[in-house]
Chains A and B, each alone.
Chain A
Amino acid sequence: MIRLTVNGKAVTVASEPDTPLLWVLRDELQLKGAKYGCGIAQCGACTVLVGGQAVRACSLPVGDIDGSVVTTIEGLKADDAVQKAWIELQTPQCGFCQPGQIMSAKALLAETPRPDDAAIDAAMAGNLCRCGTYVRIRAAIKLASGQAA
């Protein structure tokens, strides 16, 4: 039996161990915030936190993370600073990639509380946005970190 803590709740996983975490979240736990975009860890739409690190859930077998703490977009607090900044700067367009973007930003800010452009670009390069909201993503991360955007 694989056990996880997902958004603060203890969960016993019924899916087979080779099932990617993304599909445990979406198919089994009905958490639809993390998206399927490419299935090969190239687009980042599936990004969630495992033990505080941003991971591509589409390519991570759940059997590899038994006992881990998982945080998805649904697990962020209502007044989350990153989400507030995202709304303040009207960052999303279509929005499909944005839960993944926000979770990558959460991991970045946990590690680097006041990132510059280079640190943002390095941490966020795994998250594609076809709408091209990159300039606003940079500004929103700075705003969330208390820096002037």
Chain B
Amino acid sequence: MTIALDRRGFLAAGGAFTLSFVVTPPARAQQAATASPWTAYLTIGADGRIALMSPTTEMGQGTHTAHAAIIADEIGVPLNWVKVDTPMPSDPFRRGGSMGSGGSAGVRAWWDPLRKVGASARQSLVNAAAAKAGVPAAEVTILDGRIRRGGRVLMSLGEAAKLAAAAPPAEGTPRDPATYRYVGKQTPRVDIPAKVRGEPVFSQDFTRPGMVYACAVLSPVWTGLARQINEAPALAVKGVQKVVAFPGGAAVIASTQWAAMKGAAALEVSWASTDYDGLSSAAISAAMLAGLDKDDEALEARADGDAAAALAGAARVVEADYEVPYLAHTPMEPWNVTIEPTADGGLELWGPFQTQDRNRNTAARAAGIDPAKVKLHTLMLGGGFGRRLGDDGLTSAVLTALAVRKPVKFFWRREDEIGQGYYRPAQVARLRAGLDAAGRVVGLHVRAAGPSMQNSFSPAGLARGKLDGTSVHTLADTLYRPGAYRVDWVRVDQVVPMAPWRAVGATQNGYFMEAFLDEVARAAGKDPVALRRELLSHDPRALKVIDRAAEAGDWGKPLPAGRARGFAFVYSYGSLCAQVVEASLENGEVKVHRVTCAIDCARVVTPDGALNQMEGGIVQGLSSALFEGIEVSNGSCANRNFDGYRIMRINEAPTVIETHFIENNEVIGGIGEPGLPPATPALVNALFALTGKPIRKLPIMAQLADA
């Protein structure tokens, strides 16, 4: 994936890379990295233009821009001199042995390494220019892409790059961030112009000469296998060339994408029965709720003091059960991948990859070849939200490509993008809080129950008896101190496949905790914000976030009749985030008027990009609260397209979203995910304030319809 920042400059630079001082074609990146850790990342052309290999996948979260800003500031060049590309998997780009993006790590994990990379490039250029000019390196600087000494320009960046190419690379020390020109300032996203022009940047748009299309026909029942396939009706469709069967279904091969889809609709497949043919949402729900009573199966996730004793001795106990359904990620681009078998028996892949090594290894395993023979190119993702962390469609795609023996774009229809799963898990929780006579919280027990996402998603699975940390995410690591505190989890597995969904366990557990705290506040006769301040009185950083959101969100101030505010606070991915949602009910529909967000992520690298992430996270959190849930029926997903799986539309989106960032010298926190979790309970709490009735099950609209 190449992004043209400054198109003319990019074209001009295209021919000059042979003169660059570090030539690191992707295949050699690993080797080059051994010599000098930073050379894998940067190529500087004779015209001074810089090609940056960014270790993260761009899916609209803006990390490529953040990385370009860091490099531009460290070296001292205009931002549009840095062109960003995604490398093939190799060691310099791996974290924990694998290349991939996730966990809101794009900036917080790469902030220090990329500053070091940029600083070392700057030092190498400075040293080379100083040696040539016969002046001390300490007197040489780079500003606006020129090598300077005092007020005088010594040479261009490109000239210095040519000299540096012949000299040993130097180690540099990162600049003081206070001197940065782009980091922390309004920085236009590098990927936006091409997207707005409608250029073919996405995996769906990518073509290869001689490419054919393969439309997947997959079992509607999870784990289902085809019993019998009648190819004839598909082959009768004009343009259809072939049907390729694989475990779990088939692919219809055609010269155009439409012919492949038409053929797929015509293909007749009868599916073998499975053990799950009768599975339903009601059965899953009942099994999870039953799990809440299984004390002997509960795995401890946190135990501060004796919660059972605190609850037994409490003046009053508040108790409630909560439930959430499976959620689909629904990135707007249905999954697809382009695969070309190569002359050497290998494979070349182009796709919307977020876990490059996982996908490369899976492709190699499916083809029975060494991973070194798989060349994997990352294209722009048309949304991720966690769905592109997996590799579940790839094996079928590789088997299809090997059967077709030419370049093939293997794709899913929307119905499979939603229906095949890898969902945010369904989960239930029972929360019990003990209050003393004065209404103070003296103990809290949270019992969660549900399937293990980790077991479903991670290739190694999760052994029975082991805790799935994602099931208690933001419960076990909460900043609240509710006196004696116990968190435990009962595993209730289902066949339904699961994966991380933006903000992972924080989505369900943030809702459980925050909605319940409002019930506790009501029982104790306390203001919801005041209760949270009591539970966070030990944590000045958290209190500041709470206070900023409450103040900016006009907490406690009068409202027009029929409107109410709700508050929530969730700490996730190293960031503290509080939100106030102002909502009303109009003709049975929920209207969200205003969302006010305060987030402490310690440092903001691209302010407008961070703002965009907050806005998007809030909309997704509200969308899941109001509308979303997989309906399981007859062992499959019943709502497989946007007519059944409802997500938020513009007419349902908040009128106003405002975000306040809090910066300090703490460890840098994430931005892609932490904005989402508080939005769900803040809305639920606004409706609780409005109606007096708690909402203990999502989505809200289904609850309102049942009421």
Contact = CB atoms under 8 A, between A and B. Distances in A.
Given A45-B332, A132-B616, A27 B256 contact: yes
Contact of B655 (A86, A102, A117, A132): A117
Interface in B644-677: 647-651, 653-657
A9 B62 CA distance: 36
Contacts of B657: 135
A40 B608 contact: no
A52 interface: no
B345 interface: no
A93 B333 contact: no
A40 B413 CA distance: 11
A68 interface: no
Nearest to B617: A132
B650 A127 contact: yes
Interface in B141-195: 188-189, 191-193, 195
B284 to A, nearest CB: 25
Contacts of A42: 641-643
Interface stretch (B73-81, B199-207, B299-307, B564-572): B199-207
Given A35-B333, A95-B60, A132-B653, A87 B193 contact: yes
B608 A37 contact: no
A130 B643 contact: no
A125 interface: yes
A45 B647 CA distance: 14
A96 B620 contact: no
Contact of B332 (A33, A37, A40, A121): A37
A71 to B, nearest CB: 11
Nearest to A120: B650
A35 to B, nearest CB: 6
Contacts, number: 173
A27 B195 CA distance: 20
B261 interface: yes
Contacts of B196: 83, 86-87, 91-92, 95, 98, 102
Contact of B192 (A19, A45, A92, A99): A92
B32 interface: no
Given A35-B204, A95-B60, A95-B195, A28 B382 contact: no
Contacts of B193: 87
B334 A37 contact: yes
Contacts of A36: 204, 257, 334
Given A40-B643, A74-B198, A93 B612 contact: yes
Contact of A73 (B197, B201, B382, B618): B197
A49 to B, nearest CB: 13
A42 B417 CA distance: 15
B291 interface: no
- Residue from B62, B332, B414 with most neighbouring chain A CB atoms (10 Å): B332
Contact of A130 (B200, B258, B618, B620): B620
Contacts of B60: 92-95, 131
B385 interface: yes
Interface residues of B, number: 64
Contacts of A136: 612, 615
Contacts of A23: 256-258
B152 to A, nearest CB: 37
Contacts of B259: 27
B258 A27 contact: yes
Nearest to B213: A27
B332 A97 contact: yes
Contact of A94 (B199, B207, B331): B331
Contacts of A129: 332, 650
B192 A95 contact: yes
A22 to B, nearest CB: 8
B382 A92 contact: no
Contacts of A32: 198, 200, 204-205
A138 interface: yes
Contacts of B204: 32, 35-36, 96
A26 B382 contact: no
Interface string B587-624: 00000000000000000000011001101111110010
A38 B189 contact: no
Nearest to A122: B651
A73 B657 CA distance: 29
B330 interface: yes
A124 B653 CA distance: 12
A92 B195 contact: yes
A130 B414 contact: no
A81 B648 CA distance: 27
B238 interface: yes
Contact of B616 (A20, A45, A117, A131): A131
Contact of A43 (B201, B238, B380, B642): B642
A6 to B, nearest CB: 14
Contacts of A135: 615, 619, 653-654, 656-657
A34 B258 CA distance: 14
Nearest to B255: A27
Contacts of B202: 35, 95-96
A93 B618 CA distance: 14
Contacts of B647: 128, 130
Contacts of B617: 132
A94 B332 contact: yes
A35 B382 contact: yes
A5 interface: no
B104 interface: no
B192 A90 contact: yes
A81 to B, nearest CB: 12
Nearest to A43: B642
B37 interface: no
Contacts of B205: 32
Given A28-B256, A94-B384, A134-B650, A38 B195 contact: no
B641 A40 contact: yes
Contacts of A122: 651
A93 B616 contact: yes
A16 to B, nearest CB: 7
A19 B651 contact: no
A122 B385 CA distance: 27
B383 interface: yes
17 contacts: A30-B207, A32-B204, A39-B414, A40-B643, A42-B643, A92-B195, A94-B59, A94-B384, A96-B202, A96-B383, A102-B196, A117-B655, A130-B647, A131-B616, A132-B623, A134-B648, A134-B649
Given A121-B651, A132-B615, A135-B656, 6 more contacts: A23-B257, A27-B256, A28-B256, A73-B198, A124-B651, A130-B647
Shortest 8 CB-CB contacts between residues of A and residues of B: A132-B619, A33-B198, A95-B195, A73-B198, A96-B382, A94-B60, A93-B60, A23-B258
